[in-house]
A and B are shown apart, each in its own frame.
Chain A
Amino acid sequence: MSPRRRRPHLVFPDASELEEPLLDVQDLRTYFHTARGVVKANDGVSFTLNRGKTLGVVGESGSGKTVLTRSIMGLLPNIQLERSGSVRFAGHELTSLTAHQLRDVWGTQMAVIFQDPMTALNPVVRVDRQLTESLRIRLGLDRRAAHDTAIALLGSVGIPAPEQRMRNYPHELSGGMRQRVMIAIALACGPKLVLADEPTTGLDVTLQAQILDLLASLQRERSMGMILVTHDLGVVANRADDIAVMYAGRIVEQAPTKDLFSHTRMPYTEALLRSIPRLADPSHTRLRAIPGRPPDLASLPDGCPFAPRCPYAQDRCLTDDPPPRTAGAGHLFRCWFPVGSPEGEDALARNVAAGVPAALAFTGALAGAAISVTTVSVTATAVVTGSLAPDASLVPPAVPLVVPPVVPPVVSPGPAEGANGDATAGES
Chain B
Amino acid sequence: MAGSGTAQLRGDDLLLRVEHLVVEFGKGPRRVRAVSDVSFDVAAGETLGLVGESGCGKSTTGRAVALVHPPDQGSVRFAGTDLTTLNQRDLRQARTKVQMVFQDPISSLNPRRRVLDSVMEPLSIWGIGSNEERKAKARQTLESVGINPSDASSQRPIEFSGGQCQRISIARALMLEPSLLICDEPVSALDVSVQAQILNLLDDLKRERGLTMVFIAHDLAVVKNVSDRVAVMYLGKLCEVAPPDTLYRHPAHPYTAALLASIPEPDPSAATNGRAPLSGELPSPTDPPSGCRFRTRCPYAQEKCAIEEPEMRALGPDHFVACHFPLARPMVSTEAPAVAEPVGASPFSNA
Taking Cβ atoms with an 8 Å cutoff, the residues of A that contact B are 60-61, 174, 176-177, 204-210, 212-213, 231-235, 237-238, 257-258, 261-262, 271-273, 275-291, 293-294, 367-375, 377, 413-415, 424-425, 427-428
Q: B145 touching A283 by the CB < 8 A rule?
A: no
B68 at the interface (CB under 8 A from A): no
Q: A371 touching B262 by the CB < 8 A rule?
A: no
Q: B53 touching A205 by the CB < 8 A rule?
A: yes
Given the complex of chains A and B, what is the CA–CA distance between A345 and B49 in angstroms? Answer: 38
Q: A208 touching B262 by the CB < 8 A rule?
A: yes
Given the complex of chains A and B, what is the CA–CA distance between A286 and B200 in angstroms? Answer: 7
Supply 6 further A-B pairs (C-beta < 8 A) apart from A277-B224, A287-B196, A374-B146.
Answer: A206-B258, A237-B265, A258-B269, A280-B337, A284-B203, A293-B163
Chain B residues near A261 (CB-CB < 8 A) = 266-269
Q: A285 touching B264 by the CB < 8 A rule?
A: no
Most chain B beta carbons < 10 A, residue from A257, A273, A369, A371 = A369
For residue A377, give the distance in angstroms from its CB to the closest CB of chain B: 7
B192, B197, B337: the one contacting A60 at CB < 8 Å is B192
Q: A287 touching B225 by the CB < 8 A rule?
A: yes
Q: B192 touching A272 by the CB < 8 A rule?
A: yes
Q: B337 touching A415 by the CB < 8 A rule?
A: yes
B197, B228, B258, B264: the one contacting A208 at CB < 8 Å is B264
B45, B245, B261, B278: the one contacting A283 at CB < 8 Å is B245
Given the complex of chains A and B, what is the CA–CA distance between A287 and B269 in angstroms? Answer: 21
Closest to A206 in B: B278
Most chain A beta carbons < 10 A, residue from B46, B161, B196, B227 = B196
Given the complex of chains A and B, what is the CA–CA distance between A91 and B234 in angstroms? Answer: 51
Chain A residues near B279 (CB-CB < 8 A) = 210
Q: B196 touching A275 by the CB < 8 A rule?
A: yes
Given the complex of chains A and B, what is the CA–CA distance between A281 and B265 in angstroms? Answer: 12
B107 at the interface (CB under 8 A from A): no
Q: A204 touching B146 by the CB < 8 A rule?
A: no
Q: A176 touching B281 by the CB < 8 A rule?
A: yes
Cβ < 8 Å to A, chain B residues 144-182: 144-148, 161, 163, 167
Given the complex of chains A and B, what is the CA–CA distance between A213 and B46 in angstroms? Answer: 37
Closest to B56 in A: A204
B119 at the interface (CB under 8 A from A): no
For residue B148, give the distance in angstroms from its CB to the closest CB of chain A: 5
Chain B residues near A425 (CB-CB < 8 A) = 342
A234, A284, A413: the one contacting B263 at CB < 8 Å is A234
Q: A205 touching B225 by the CB < 8 A rule?
A: no
Chain A residues near B248 (CB-CB < 8 A) = 279
Q: B161 touching A234 by the CB < 8 A rule?
A: no
B113 at the interface (CB under 8 A from A): no
Q: B196 touching A209 by the CB < 8 A rule?
A: no
Chain B residues near A275 (CB-CB < 8 A) = 192-193, 195-196
Chain A residues near B269 (CB-CB < 8 A) = 258, 261-262
For residue A302, give the distance in angstroms from its CB to the closest CB of chain B: 22
For residue B229, give the distance in angstroms from its CB to the closest CB of chain A: 9
B332 at the interface (CB under 8 A from A): no
Closest to A413 in B: B267
B220 at the interface (CB under 8 A from A): yes
Given the complex of chains A and B, what is the CA–CA distance between A204 and B243 in angstroms? Answer: 23
Taking Cβ atoms with an 8 Å cutoff, the residues of B that contact A are 45-46, 53-54, 143-148, 161, 163, 167, 191-197, 199-201, 203-205, 207-208, 218-222, 224-228, 243-245, 248, 258-272, 277-279, 281-282, 337, 339-340, 342
Given the complex of chains A and B, what is the CA–CA distance between A370 and B272 in angstroms? Answer: 39
Q: B277 touching A206 by the CB < 8 A rule?
A: yes
B46, B205, B221, B227: the one contacting A369 at CB < 8 Å is B205
- What would 16 A/B residue contacts be, using CB atoms closer than 8 Å? A174-B281, A176-B281, A212-B264, A231-B191, A261-B268, A273-B266, A276-B192, A277-B199, A284-B203, A285-B225, A287-B200, A293-B194, A369-B145, A372-B197, A414-B267, A428-B45
B201, B221, B272: the one contacting A276 at CB < 8 Å is B221
Chain A residues near B146 (CB-CB < 8 A) = 369-375
Closest to B208 in A: A369
Given the interface pairs A278-B265, A279-B265, A290-B196, the reply to whether A210 lies near B147 with Cβ below 8 Å is no
Chain A residues near B205 (CB-CB < 8 A) = 369
Closest to B222 in A: A277
Most chain B beta carbons < 10 A, residue from A60, A234, A283, A367 = A283
Q: B221 touching A283 by the CB < 8 A rule?
A: no
Given the complex of chains A and B, what is the CA–CA distance between A210 and B277 in angstroms? Answer: 7
A204, A231, A289: the one contacting B196 at CB < 8 Å is A289
Chain A residues near B340 (CB-CB < 8 A) = 282
Chain A residues near B278 (CB-CB < 8 A) = 206, 209-210
For the complex of A and B, 7 pairs with smallest distance between CB atoms = A372-B146, A234-B264, A289-B196, A233-B266, A209-B277, A275-B196, A204-B53
B148, B197, B264: the one contacting A289 at CB < 8 Å is B197
For residue B203, give the distance in angstroms from its CB to the closest CB of chain A: 7
Q: B200 touching A371 by the CB < 8 A rule?
A: yes
Closest to A290 in B: B193
Given the complex of chains A and B, what is the CA–CA distance between A427 and B228 in angstroms? Answer: 9
Q: B339 touching A280 by the CB < 8 A rule?
A: yes
Q: B201 touching A369 by the CB < 8 A rule?
A: yes
Q: A238 touching B197 by the CB < 8 A rule?
A: no
Closest to B49 in A: A283
Given the complex of chains A and B, what is the CA–CA distance between A334 and B224 in angstroms? Answer: 34
Q: A286 touching B203 by the CB < 8 A rule?
A: yes
Closest to B338 in A: A415
Given the complex of chains A and B, what is the CA–CA distance between A229 and B208 in angstroms? Answer: 39
B270, B281, B337: the one contacting A207 at CB < 8 Å is B281
B46, B199, B244, B262: the one contacting A205 at CB < 8 Å is B262
Chain A residues near B145 (CB-CB < 8 A) = 369, 372
Given the interface pairs A277-B199, A289-B200, A372-B145, the reply to whether A282 lies near B245 with Cβ below 8 Å is yes
Chain B residues near A281 (CB-CB < 8 A) = 224-225, 339
For residue A370, give the distance in angstroms from its CB to the closest CB of chain B: 8
Given the complex of chains A and B, what is the CA–CA distance between A60 and B161 in angstroms? Answer: 13
Given the interface pairs A237-B267, A277-B222, A281-B225, the reply to whether A60 lies near B191 with Cβ below 8 Å is yes
Chain A residues near B245 (CB-CB < 8 A) = 282-283
Given the interface pairs A284-B226, A372-B145, A424-B203, the reply to whether A279 lies near B192 with Cβ below 8 Å is no
